[in-house]
Structure 1
Amino acid sequence: MMRRHLNTIYVTSDNAWLRKDGANVVVEVEGAERGRAPLHMIEGIICFGRPGASPALMAACAETGIALSFLTPQGKFLARVEGPRTGNVLLRRTQYRAADDPARSVPIVRGIVTAKAANQRTVLRRALRDHGESMATGARAALEAAEARLSHIARRAALAEDIDTVRGHEGDAAQLYFGTFDAMIQRDRDAFVFRGRSRRPPLDRINALLSFLYAMLGHDCRSALEGVGFDPQVGLLHADRPGRASLALDLMEELRPVMADRLALTLVNRGQVKAGDFRTDEGGAVSLTDDGRKAVLVAWQERKKRELRHPFLGEEMALGLVPHIQALLLSRHLRGDIDGYPPFVWK
């Protein structure tokens, strides 16, 4: 059965209060109602900063499977409200066994990393298609060389026989891809210079934008896995670590180029986010301003509504459904319903 693409509510006002009114969630700011939505139309509520929520609303979200999450203004995960532990215990037991069995986990991880490298290659191809004629000769040549090299890495990852080798190919692809990321930035290059990934904290505007989008994608991937019945903490590619949703990170890998990286480039190259949408603190950490965050969230929601044809199912669907479909396909594979896990390869 095809899942409906439901809405996510993003609450960005520090002094907001969320409450339940009948079958609706209501957002109030300083006592005035700012919006309401039926609970059955919502799959997640994400609060940035310090909004509060009534116990009745938190209970309703827990009972109906709505993910109510609290993040810092920069998108760092703080906490989420959960009801009694649900999910499919048989699926989780199968997941744990697969995580401990290289014969089962390596083919899945190979597919994830191969798809990620292929999707990174597609980001480069689209940049060359859209901006290749206006690029400097050296930048265009670097992107073309990186595109060919990513194809080679994807082929090698598809043949790897152990997890460490697959992780090595993933690292090579990331180094190559982000090494050419700056060449794909075509607008306001002085403000949006990119010299490589910096995460905790982001040290430039592009890194701040990527980290924020990855936080949004991570929320969606975790919710997708929990919706199917997985334990998001136990991964196959990412090692277990207390407090880390390793399986959600696994699911994110093939989707980062499609859902986040391409959107970040589009936002900058179309001037939808500008230098003034970011702030730098005394320690050098860069983050989005309130207005910048709102602009990115609007674009993120619009991006998730875009229709595409799923490469394995052959069905048209909203991009926002893809994490849920991939989680479902992974569960079907682990249950033995399909022979292998079909990763998402972007065309």
Structure 2
Amino acid sequence: MRKLQNTLYVNSDCYLQLDGENVVAKEDGKVVGRVPLHNLESIVTTGYTGASPALMRACADKNIDLCFLSRNGKFLARIVGPVKGNVILRKNQYQKFSDDSFSLCIAKNMIRGKIYNSKWILERYTRDSPLRVNVELLKEKSKLLSEDYIKIDSVDTASQLLGIEGSAAQNYFSVYDNLILNQKDVFTFNERNRRPPIDPTNALLSFCYSLLTSMCTSSLECTGLDPYFGVYHVERPGRPSLALDLMEELRPVMVDRFVLNLINTRRITKKDFIQKENGAVLLTDEGRKKLFISWQKRKQEEIEHPYIKKKISWGLVPFVQAKLLSSYIRGDLDGYPPFFWK
């Protein structure tokens, strides 16, 4: 099993460079941080000043993921080393994913995972906070999600699956605001909006989805798969379609629930956001710092994986799912087992 190591989050506008076997962060020419590279599996930076070529090469050589995000969490670029994937595995991936029936089989299980996990979140709130949520409404939406889940069995085309996923997402997000139990004067949710997000809740969701995308992309590459050739999301230049596919089942439990926890425990508050002239709402430097700290702690929490029946950290869930997907492509499994969490 892959070992989960630390992720270095660089929140301020620092220039990153290599000093021996360390990554050094400089702000206005002064060293503000130093971390040994051997302790890291990834570096995520939201600064504008960039990184030195020497550091980029060191990260590539040591298989350390160097990811650049914008201030609002939009993915910009990743530095990766030489592709080390099994050429036979990738050949099988391209051949089998070109078969619509094979791709649809995987996509259906991924969307099953997404709907199941979305339903679980609603059910969890009716159980844990029955006096603070509209139990009847949440139960109604949970029932609709169950119906959407069953409909997947009769799906024959990707367009049909897309329609069911859209229906499930609408049912789920229509009550997401009910799950926000504190700070209702600041955090509300009417609908998903992005590019840019125009309210604090969507700003948090979009930022964390970017972090999860990076994790899924890296996990697929580590298992030898091509993250840009998927089964559900349409291929586009520069778009990690398979990583976005893998994200679907993980969004509810790894991001949506995490964002609710940040809000309901007041770890993120109104002062952690700013609004730009174009209406975009962004996290402040301090807000991103709080988010990164909480995200890293969350990644290190242990769970029992529902399929492999072993204790792993949350941060390894995308990697395990990528390994299971590669096993199915190789023919070692009869189907792709989605991540069902409860």
TM-score, with structure 1 as normaliser: 0.95
The residue type paired with residue 331 of structure 1 is S
User: Cα deviation per residue 1:268-308 (whole Å; 9 max; x = unaligned)?
Assistant: 11111111211111111111111111111111111111111
Residues 194-205 of structure 1: matches in 2 within 5 Å? 194-205=189-200
Residues 27-38 of structure 1: matches in 2 within 5 Å? 27-38=25-36
Q: Which residue of 2 aligns with 1:53?
A: 51
Aligned mates of 1:127, 1:287 — CA distance in 2? 28
| Cα RMSD, aligned residues only | 1.4
Aligned mates of 1:240, 1:315 — CA distance in 2? 34
Q: Does the 8 Å CA contact 1:18/1:53 hold for their aligned counterparts? A: yes
Q: Does the 8 Å CA contact 1:110/1:166 hold for their aligned counterparts? A: yes
Q: Does the 8 Å CA contact 1:308/1:319 hold for their aligned counterparts? A: yes
Aligned mates of 1:278, 1:127 — CA distance in 2? 27
Query: Which secondary structure state, in structure 2, belongs to the residue aligned with residue 279 of structure 1?
Result: strand
Query: Which secondary structure state, in structure 2, belongs to the residue aligned with residue 203 of structure 1?
Result: coil
Q: Does the 8 Å CA contact 1:111/1:158 hold for their aligned counterparts? A: no
Pick aligned residue for 1:39 from 37, 40, 46: 37
CA drift of 1:157 comes to 1.6
Aligned mates of 2:82, 2:304 — CA distance in 1? 36
Aligned mates of 1:166, 1:38 — CA distance in 2? 46
Pick aligned residue for 1:337 from 329, 332, 339: 332
Aligned mates of 1:217, 1:10 — CA distance in 2? 14
Q: Does the 8 Å CA contact 1:13/1:51 hold for their aligned counterparts? A: no
1:319 aligns to 2:314 (yes or no): yes
Residues 234-273 of structure 1: matches in 2 within 5 Å? 234-273=229-268
CA drift of 1:33 comes to 3.1
Aligned mates of 1:281, 1:213 — CA distance in 2? 20
Residues 1-347 of structure 1: matches in 2 within 5 Å? 2-14=1-13, 16-135=14-133, 139-347=134-342
| Number of corresponding residues | 342
User: Cα deviation per residue 1:137-168 (whole Å; 9 max; x = unaligned)?
Assistant: xx321111111111121122244222222211
CA drift of 1:83 comes to 3.1
CA drift of 1:24 comes to 2.4
Query: Which secondary structure state, in structure 1, belongs to the residue aligned with residue 227 of structure 2?
Result: coil
Query: Which secondary structure state, in structure 2, belongs to the residue aligned with residue 146 of structure 1?
Result: helix
The residue type paired with residue 12 of structure 1 is N
After TM superposition, the structure 1 stretch with the greater mean CA deviation from structure 2, 187-196 or 307-316, is: 187-196
The residue type paired with residue 8 of structure 1 is T
Structure 2 unaligned segments of length 5 or more: list them.
none
The residue type paired with residue 297 of structure 1 is F
After TM superposition, the structure 1 stretch with the greater mean CA deviation from structure 2, 54-63 or 24-33, is: 24-33
Aligned mates of 1:130, 1:203 — CA distance in 2? 30
Q: Does the 8 Å CA contact 1:11/1:51 hold for their aligned counterparts? A: no
Q: Does the 8 Å CA contact 1:13/1:48 hold for their aligned counterparts? A: yes
TM-score, with structure 2 as normaliser: 0.96
Structure 1 unaligned segments of length 5 or more: list them.
none
Query: Which secondary structure state, in structure 1, belongs to the residue aligned with residue 129 of structure 2?
Result: helix
CA drift of 1:61 comes to 0.7
